[in-house]
């Protein structure tokens, strides 16, 4: 089946640094990828929709200057958490949409801890 690779799986960083998370669709091209954030005991919260070759669409309340998304190719989207703070600590998950069946495949997630 389709595979989505997300890297790194875990990152610990100091407050004020930036962290980049990569999401790759390994055996299919994805014009659309999604980035989610999961808080403990809560649902997956959609942060933004990433479209290849165009600007990402951010959900209400998500700071686009804080969470930079780049979807430069049909197989790669990146999320950069800029000037990270402890409140940014969370589990971030990406998903890629396979066409034409519009099935979503998820990456394995990235646990971000900001000290």
Contact footprint for another protein (CB under 8 A): 4, 6, 32, 34, 41-44, 46, 49, 91, 93-95, 97, 102-109, 111
Residue with smaller CB distance to another protein, 14 or 42: 42
Residue with smaller CB distance to another protein, 19 or 33: 33
φ/ψ (deg, to 5) at 86? -55, -35
Q: How far is the CB of 59 from another protein (least distance, A)?
A: 8
Please tell me the distance from the alpha carbon of residue 31 to that of residue 95, in angstroms, as a whole number.
Answer: 11
Residue with smaller CB distance to another protein, 46 or 68: 46
C-alpha dist (Å) from residue 82 to 20, 28, 33, 104: 8, 29, 20, 27
Residue with smaller CB distance to another protein, 14 or 41: 41
**Chain length of the chain:** 115
Q: How far is the CB of 95 from another protein (least distance, A)?
A: 8
4: which residues sit within 8 A by CB, 6+ positions away? Answer: 23, 24, 25, 26, 94, 95, 96, 105, 106, 107
Tokens matching residue 66: 């804080």
Q: How far is the CB of 37 from another protein (least distance, A)?
A: 12
Q: How far is the CB of 49 from another protein (least distance, A)?
A: 6
């Amino acid at each position: 089946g389709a595979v989505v690779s997300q890297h790194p799986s875990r990152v610990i960083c100091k407050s004020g640094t930036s962290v980049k998370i990569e999401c790759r669709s390994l055996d299919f091209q994805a014009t659309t990828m999604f980035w989610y954030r999961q808080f403990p005991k809560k649902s997956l919260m959609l942060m933004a929709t990433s479209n290849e070759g165009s600007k990402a669409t951010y959900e209400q309340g998500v700071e686009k200057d804080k969470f930079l998304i780049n979807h430069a190719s049909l197989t790669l989207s990146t999320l950069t958490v800029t000037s990270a703070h402890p409140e940014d600590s969370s589990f971030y998950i990406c998903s890629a949409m396979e066409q034409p069946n519009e099935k979503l495949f998820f990456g394995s997630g990235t646990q971000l801890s900001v000290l």
